[in-house]
Structure 1
Amino acid sequence: MTRRIKGAEIARAITTRVAARVAETAPGGRVPGLATILVGDDPASDVYVAAKRRAIREAGMRDVHHHLPATATQDQVAAVIDALAADEDVHGILLQLPLPAGLHPAPLIDRIPVTKDVDGLTTASAGRLARGERGLRPCTPSGVVELLDAEGIELRGACVAVVGWSELVGRPLAQLLLHRGATVTVAHQYTADLAAVTRPADVVVVATGVRGLIGPEHIKPGATVIDVGIHRTPEGLRGDARTDELDGIAGRITPVPGGVGPMTIAMLLANTLQAAEWDAEHEAVPA
């Protein structure tokens, strides 16, 4: 039988450790603070931000939230980011995406100081990741690596196929895996023969936003499958992999829900704590 990787349990262990660290000693005598910025009234974004804020409070961190109307201008959002960047009690800043039409996310994200970029999405953070320098890493890719570590999967020398090349998951994940000594192949929408890329892999991570893309024809017996996708269907939440069809073929697989999803928030909290500790040590990532 295929083993289901219990991402929710692994995430709880991480958040418990973070909360214990916060309770034991607030870094530098200050409680870590995480600021969330929500622009507009997108229902899904509202749910995601509410979940993040709840996790922040449960971890004993300071919850700082700004909700701007959908009519907010680029300059107004930038002003909020700049104010939070200057606030010494805020150690992490998260701008919830997507933004309303008319706003340009890239220049706004790049206003977040690299020292407070807990989402790991700024150009500076991406450069530090590519060069292997110290910095805050994107939450979902970091969560994937944490899942693999928790399962005792040796990445050094492993053949890993990353399906999807988004700036949020696929590309940074490939970098993280390379730094761990894995042999990484990235497949994307222009890959001519997907199975030829995924079938030899020891680990397949799929993050495409295409429901049910990965099936038995793509996976060698015993391989580990990490499914980052999530889709609402009449039958419930489903992923980018056809999980039921992979039962008995894959050695391990992340369920949807309860797999990668909880890890994203767990790593957000871990990043905020890390940013606060670096700040307290006066060894923060250079701006």
Structure 2
Amino acid sequence: MSTTANARLMDGSGIARRLVEETAARAADLTRRTGKQPCLATVLVGEDPASVTYVRMKRARCEKAGIRSHHVELPAATTTEELVATLRGLSDDPDVHGILLQHPVGRHIDERAAFEAIAPGKDVDGVTTSSFAAMSFGLPGFVSCTPGGIMRLLDAYGVDPAGKRAVVVGRSAILGKPAGMLLLARNATVTYCHSYTPAADLSAAVREADIVVAAVGRARFIKGEDIKPGAVVVDAGYNEGNVGDVDFEAAAERAGLITPVPGGVGPMTIATLLSQTVDAAERQLGAAPA
């Protein structure tokens, strides 16, 4: 594994590649046993260039994993009611096993209402309140894909959160909050910080953290000099210029493990989405492997 300064890079691309290969084998086996190919429906509202690119990438990964991609494009002027109706229709379609609503969807749309129109059993992106409750209470369900990918990455590098201090910087409903819940479920002591946390308090919290998850959406928001020597640093941010939420070069001088941007958390997010799509298909088809 490559080394940057003192830190070892966490190769999300490599771990994700292996997960996608495992997922493809499961999808092929499911198709052979049932005659049904796992299907992920992607819903895109408008023509935001970044969103178009993300959806195209996810559909391409579906093809590689043996998952059928059913794409729905809606105009930017789509109303909340129209989007909700589309998502309910996909939820009722027995040939669709997972649903991904690409966000953001436009300020005129009630995004939460749209997410809640996705049936929990098809919420393979982990965006509904039902999925968040399952993550929080340790119940069966689907995890939010980026936090789920982070946990898989920690596992791949032998990082056990139990008994460790974890700081999550960010509190979004599908990244920061569930990341903290998943770490808490693994017996970490979790502190949330965010953009309103006073700078001195943020620095103090990060300096004590064994695991730092940066998910605030601000370039180089986490200062390298605040990283505890030997800490695990997971940067889930992606900002203009391929820059994460962590001051990477400085942080790598102190961290034990650190994710690059890009090539760290991003690939794990998509791989987790594909894996959960096959999970959903197995459950809906009553064909989970013995």
Asked if 1:217 is matched to 2:222, the reply is: no
Asked if 1:277 is matched to 2:285, the reply is no
For structure 1, the 5+ residue unaligned runs are none
> Aligned residue for 1:122?
128
Aligned residue in 1 for 2:3: none
Compare 33-42 and 238-247 and name the one that shifted more: 238-247
Mapped to 2, the partners of 1:133 and 1:3 lie a distance apart of: 34
Are the aligned partners of 1:177 and 1:184 in contact in 2 as well (CA < 8 Å)? yes
Q: How many Å separate the matches in 2 of 1:195 and 1:104?
A: 35
> Could you tell me which residue of structure 1 aligns to residue 93 of structure 2?
87
**Alignment-derived partner of residue 203 in structure 2:** 195
Determine whether 1:182 maps to 2:151.
no
1:64-86 per-residue CA deviation (whole Å, 9 max, x = no partner) reads: 00001112222222221122111
TM score, norm. by length of structure 1: 0.94
Contact 2:235–2:261, Cα closer than 8 Å, also in 1: yes
Assess if the C-alpha contact under 8 Å between 2:225 and 2:250 holds in 1.
Answer: no
Task: Label 1:221 to 1:124 Cα distance change in 2 as closer, same or farther (>3 A).
Answer: same
Are 1:243 and 2:248 an aligned pair? yes
Tell me, yes or no, if structure 1 residue 144 matches structure 2 residue 159: no
Shift of 1:128: 1.7
| 1: CA distance, partners of 2:187 / 2:80 | 41
| Equivalent pair of 2:224/2:249 in contact (CA under 8 Å) | no
- Quick one: which amino acid aligns to residue 256 of structure 1? V
CA deviations 1:79-137 (Å, max 9, x no partner) are 21122111111110111111123211111110100000011111111122222110011
The match for 1:252 is 257
In the alignment, which residue of structure 1 is the partner of 2:20? Answer: 15
Say whether residues 1:133 and 2:139 are aligned partners. Answer: yes
> TM-score of the superposition, structure 2-length normalised?
0.93
Distance across 1 between alignment mates of 2:106 and 2:176: 24
1:58 is aligned to 64
State the distance in 1 between where 2:253 and 2:133 align. Answer: 40
1:204 maps to which residue?
Answer: 212
The answer to whether the 8 A contact 1:164-1:207 is kept is yes
Cα distance in 1 for partners of 2:253, 2:195 equals 28
Give me the whole-angstrom Cα distance separating, in 1, the residues matched to 2:197 and 2:108: 32
Task: Give the whole-Å Cα distance in 2 for the aligned partners of 1:185 and 1:128.
Answer: 20
| Displacement after TM superposition at 1:248 (Å) | 2.6
CA contact (8 A) 1:28 1:277 kept: no
Q: Letter of the aligned partner of 1:3 in structure 2?
A: R
CA contact (8 A) 1:194 1:218 kept: no
Deviation at 1:156, TM superposition (A): 1.3
Unpaired segments of 5 or more residues in structure 2? 1-5
SS at match of 2:240: strand
Shift of 1:215: 1.9
Aligned counterparts of 1:98 and 1:224: Cα–Cα separation in 2: 30
